[in-house]
Chain A
Amino acid sequence: MSNAKPKVAFYWCASCGGCEESIVDLAEDILKVVAAVDIVFWPVALDFKKKDVEAMPDGSIAVSFINGAIRLSEQEEMVKMLRRKSGLVVAHGSCAHMGGIPGLGNFWNKETIFRRAYHTTPSTDNPDKVVPLEKTVYDGKELTLPSFFDTVYSLDQVIDVDYYLPGCAPPRDLILNAVTAILEGKLPPKGSVLSPNKSECDTCDRNKTKPEKLSIKEIKRTWEIILDPEKCFLAQGVICMGPATRDGCGHRCINGNMPCRGCFGPTDQVYDQGAKFLSALASILDTNDEKEMDRIVQSIVDPAGTFYRFSLPKSLLGRKRMETIK
């Protein structure tokens, strides 16, 4: 056993596939990874089955990289199994880390999501009003589907997580650093987010264009103005989550002349990214006049969805109050 390569698993839950792509995008570097490890489970690319994993002894997988949020009972079952089988679990990407985009479903519940998806979207043609059921008897046989939760969870709300690789999707250098650190056993303390603990603004080129005291009189959405390619977005009155977001992405959005949406989550000092950003934004609204304040606040169309775009399940409140959902 001593010469055996470490076993690695990849798994996906409620995700878009982008995180799988981020592994494939390692390009030739993936070959080095493949040479150094033994991939024992990777549903998107390799033909191993659940029973193959079940048959492995507990703790025999060195590390499982799990992407996606937890929305279905099947995902819960799979990640609990992978947790038992693995020495380390890495939450790969924003959805596993904080719930991500699927986590915005926490402004709704199962009933309202099903109603929308299976009955009321303009493109739905469902005269018999069929909805997926957990049990269906057809031709004398019982068919089952996983249950769909009212609430979307981040990975660490369901199993113990050792490390977090942030980002939608995590960039290649961070993935490679993580894999190298694991292979060499040079790991930071358990629970670390594997990206620098400073804010996006800290390393942003546009930071130097930020005036001494930022002051916003008007909030504008990206399509309402021609975006200056060099000036700080906040100084242009455009919401940029940079101040409340962890560094390490290489400023992908900002370099594409789009403000940061916050996919890396907060730094270690902050628990609730949305509240922190709200605090920062409210502080720089440049008025002491109540009517003006009301007008500017009015112009922020969807504060909760904007400030918690990637982190709603992991936020302090976690979801919308169930009894207020209609």
Chain B
Amino acid sequence: MSNATFEPRLVGFLCNWCSYTGADLAGTARMTYAPNVRIIRVMCSGRVDPQFVLKAFKEGADGVLISGCHLGDCHYKEGNYKALRRYKLLSKMLEQFGIEKERFRLEWVSAAEGIKFQQVCNEFTEQVRKMGPLNLSPNGGQHE
């Protein structure tokens, strides 16, 4: 499959209070943007267990996005700082598994930033499209 025709499958974990509302705004404002991000709403970016990210990659995601409120604006005060610390450590670990850090992205999108959400989706889709499919065997380490 050439990268030009390859449609990346992206999973996005969006916090309920800012980013999901931001994505909603992009929708109600009828902005057009790459439809590749499959959105999963979570209460807070700090709720994203690293196991969710690994599972998404394992089940066929070519890229994973976590999006939360801007630092200082988290509905639960510090959830997004926790997300940021996990993101940094997990990115480093993913590289040890051969999953490039460009496939894993953390963004702060507020409820008013429909345009930013649009940009993030477009950029991330193009970035992963250039990288090509991740091709993890769906059964991970399972013996054939």
Q: Does B39 sit within 8 A of A, measured CB to CB?
A: no
Q: Which residues of A contact B99 (CB under 8 A)?
A: 317, 321
Summed over the interface, the residue pairs from A and B with CB atoms below 8 Å come to a total of 114
Residue A222 lies at the interface, judged by CB distance under 8 Å to chain B: no
B51-A276 in contact (CB<8A): yes
Residue of A nearest to B86 (CB): A282
CB-CB under 8 A for A318 and B88, given A272-B51, A307-B93:
no
Stretch at the interface among A17-25, A44-52, A169-177, A293-301: A293-301
- Check if A319 sits within 8 Å of B84, measured CB to CB: no
Task: Tell which of A271, A303, A313 has the most Cβ of chain B within 10 Å.
Answer: A303
With a cutoff of 8 Å between Cβ atoms, the chain B residues found around residue A151 in the complex are 141, 143
Partner of A282, one of B54, B89, B141: B89
B55 at the interface (CB under 8 A from A): yes
Give A23 Cβ to nearest chain B Cβ, in Å: 26
Does residue A264 face the partner (Cβ distance < 8 Å to B)? no
B82: which A residues are within 8 A, CB to CB?
Answer: 282-283
A197 at the interface (CB under 8 A from B): no
| CB–CB A313/B141 < 8 A | yes
Q: Which of A232-276 contact B (CB under 8 A)?
A: 270-272, 274-276
Assembly CA distance A139 to B129 (angstroms): 55
Binary A-proximity of B33-60 (CB < 8 A = 1, otherwise 0)? 0000000000000000111011101100
Which residues of chain B are within 8 angstroms of A76 by Cβ–Cβ distance? 143
B85 & A283 in contact (Cβ 8 Å cutoff): yes
Looking at B55, B71, B89, the one whose CB has the most chain A CB atoms below 10 A away is B89
Contact of A300 with B92 in the complex, beta carbons under 8 Å: yes
Inter-chain contact B96/A320, CB cutoff 8 Å: yes
Segment 63-90 of B: residues with Cβ below 8 Å from A:
71, 78, 81-82, 84-86, 88-90
Assess the A278–B140 pair: CB atoms within 8 A: no
**Using Cβ atoms and an 8 Å threshold, which residues of chain A touch B88?**
282, 293-294, 297
Q: Does B31 sit at the interface, judged by CB under 8 A?
A: no
Query: Binary interface profile of A, 274-295, with partner B (CB < 8 Å = 1, else 0)?
Result: 1110110111010110100110
Given that A316-B55, A317-B136 are contacting pairs, would A303 and B86 also be in contact in the complex, using a CB cutoff of 8 Å? no
With a CB–CB cut-off of 8 A, which chain A residues contact B55? 316
Contact A318-B141, Cβ < 8 Å, known A107-B96, A275-B49, A288-B78? yes
**Contacts A321-B136, A323-B135; A282 near B143 (Cβ below 8 A):** no
* Other contacts beyond A279-B51, A316-B55, A321-B97: 10, CB < 8 A: A275-B49, A276-B49, A278-B93, A279-B49, A282-B89, A288-B71, A293-B88, A316-B140, A317-B141, A321-B135
List of 9 A-B pairs having minimum Cβ-Cβ separation, nearest first: A318-B141, A321-B98, A324-B98, A318-B140, A304-B96, A316-B54, A275-B50, A282-B86, A282-B85
Identify 25 residue pairs between A and B in the complex whose beta-carbon atoms are under 8 Å apart, listed by A's number: A153-B141, A154-B141, A271-B51, A272-B50, A272-B51, A274-B93, A275-B51, A276-B49, A278-B93, A282-B90, A283-B82, A287-B85, A288-B81, A297-B89, A300-B92, A313-B141, A316-B51, A316-B55, A316-B58, A317-B54, A319-B140, A320-B97, A320-B98, A321-B99, A322-B98
